[in-house]
Structure 1
């Protein structure tokens, strides 16, 4: 009799796990809808300045299409081109040293920007925004095809910061999520996606360590060959001098960043930025940043070496990535929302969905509060967001009912 009751209970639990209504969190969904509505009202009320960061992408792309890709890394030349091409209102909207931002992306990014450069700026900005948001939502849906997951992915402040400024973090985060989704079942595709992520290399810092630690050599070889092909295609299409110009431009930006003249420290939502805001000098702040990054790297590798849920492994990589590089800004953190979506999937895999909803709500709450507090407190909030998600993962990894699940297809 006891065995029969136990069996019936097990069957009911399995049914509940695969029930669409049981998997969703109504309270979370309602909160996300309200957050999205508030964010739309806030950002739509200040349309002036929208797309400022995309202007440097569009300007660099137009210079590349005209055969002057290397010149796009010269800030003065990029500014002059945009003054000629942009409407008069955009010339007056920003001070000279803010319009546009300097362009220092790897030259392979020209392959992405060139098609948008063929369009007028307003249309290009809308097309860019629609394309990257669509990629982001498709990957979120692939991780967990539930309304609450999509709403959570849209409700976090970094998503709105990225959309407003016209940045590239949503596209990079979507690529990173797609890499994780295809890592086991489609390793060839995963390797190609890793190569595409080279346009924003700080997002992929942890990937080589994870691939080596888990022996995914086929993915490594595919990524290396694809990167070589992209470099060759870029050199043939836009000139080999673009690589030299990129090296010089990246060195200049790095020097300005270290000296504190390139960006205010509070804008760097990284451990390094937080330490500089706290008053530490370059040497000590850099050393402590590297020490923390190394410790987090070891933690991620250990998680990937453990026999735990793949969703937890994916979330750990996403939550730790912003702690690796000093150059992460507030709009670079949509990947933390993706980490929470993976954690929602981990709840389902572990059969403890209801009991862990509170952790997801806490994670979302911290990201939302810190994200919208950032413009007022002017303190790097990224490390605190990452620490919250990492703490949730840490607790989940210590739960006794953990069991591994296959990577997604």
Structure 2
């Protein structure tokens, strides 16, 4: 009996060894990320929370002067200086809904408001990763910890960028659509309006994959938000917003086709059209595997975006997470991408430059399109409805 208990404990220890090792590596990488991020991370630099600072300044401007003034960049800049005098300012180029999200925090001291905001961003992404996965127990904890180690994830949290919410929405919608809760999935996907350029093609590729209810729900919810935005800022505010987009901050094109391949004008438009067409065709072949359609749509969105910032690569985490679960053949490549995103390599000048990530995205998308064409699925498998319970298993888990 004693021997049986000892053997059971030994087997349990072996099952927990790999998750424990992965979790330890993840924590180590995150510590490196915090201590060695370029530009003096955690060394008193004033760019911490810079994006939240902008959202909050727009919110305060709207609350004090009316929402039609949130694209008056002079007024927003003045509010930014009042909120945090020693932080540099930047124009507010986001949809009105981003400032609405920050508005409830306007009454709090700035430091507390940013802490709450950053915590919500990280918690949303972590919970979405965990809830959408079919790993269980400690295995799920370790997998989620590893998934958030790329430098751009904690950078997005550090500057207060909304894109982790978009990535989280993709993951939650993925699980919902696997459960045939298509309308709920569409409503969740409307979170894309927070930063449309990062994932705008996902609903359209899902439509090509036959998930028209999801598309209609997303379009309806997004339309309501857009209508409310126009009513709030008025025609003049819309004009100011569109005018501001013509003066993008420096570096906004490094992650685009123009920055990586030097494409512009008609050539860029033709390439973008080709990417969209390829994504839609690939989505059509994945009518039984909507997750692959979503991943393809997300990467195609990044490649066709007219401007992006480095934190927008958080969408790659969602796409990679989905592909990891649905297409095991890609796991070795995903591990290589994860290692390439190590903050340690970045600070040692060994990391992949921003333009290099566009090349990686293009190769990834091309591979996924080919995979989709070769593995056409018209019927999906049932997901593991007990994914939130049970013991950790790395080898045996359900693929959606």
Out of 21, 27, 42, the residue aligned to residue 45 of structure 1 is 42
CA deviations 1:41-85 (Å, max 9, x no partner) are 22453342211221110111112222422222111111112323x
- For structure 1, the 5+ residue unaligned runs are 1-19, 277-283
Are positions 1:319 and 2:299 aligned together? yes
Are positions 1:300 and 2:300 aligned together? no
Asked whether the equivalents of residues 316 and 393 of structure 1 are also in contact (C-alpha less than 8 Å), the reply is yes
For these two proteins, the number of residue pairs brought into alignment is: 359
Asked whether the equivalents of residues 52 and 159 of structure 2 are also in contact (C-alpha less than 8 Å), the reply is yes
Q: Aligned ranges for residues 256-405 of structure 1 at < 5 Å? A: 256-257=247-248, 262-264=249-251, 268-276=254-262, 285-307=264-286, 309-347=289-327, 357-368=331-342, 380-390=355-365, 393=368, 396-397=371-372, 405=380
Out of 177, 182, 186, the residue aligned to residue 183 of structure 1 is 177
Partner of 2:67: 69
Q: How far, CA to CA, are the matches of 1:403 and 1:216 in structure 2? A: 12
CA deviations 1:251-287 (Å, max 9, x no partner) are 2233224xxxx3236x5311122245xxxxxxx5133
Q: Aligned ranges for residues 1-40 of structure 1 at < 5 Å? A: 21=15, 31-40=25-34
Asked whether the equivalents of residues 171 and 322 of structure 2 are also in contact (C-alpha less than 8 Å), the reply is no
Q: Offset at 1:125? A: 0.7
The CA RMSD measured in Å over matched residues stands at: 3.4
Q: How far, CA to CA, are the matches of 1:394 and 1:28 in structure 2? A: 30
Are positions 1:141 and 2:130 aligned together? yes
- For structure 2, the 5+ residue unaligned runs are 1-13, 386-400
Out of 203, 206, 209, the residue aligned to residue 201 of structure 2 is 206
Higher helix share: 1
Q: Offset at 1:366? A: 2.8
Q: How far, CA to CA, are the matches of 1:381 and 1:407 in structure 2? A: 37
Are positions 1:112 and 2:84 aligned together? no
Q: Offset at 1:297? A: 1.8
Instruction: Pick closer, same or farther for the CA change 1:45–1:230 going to 2, 3 Å.
Output: closer
Asked whether the equivalents of residues 51 and 159 of structure 2 are also in contact (C-alpha less than 8 Å), the reply is yes
Q: TM-score, normalised by structure 1?
A: 0.75
Q: TM-score, normalised by structure 2?
A: 0.77
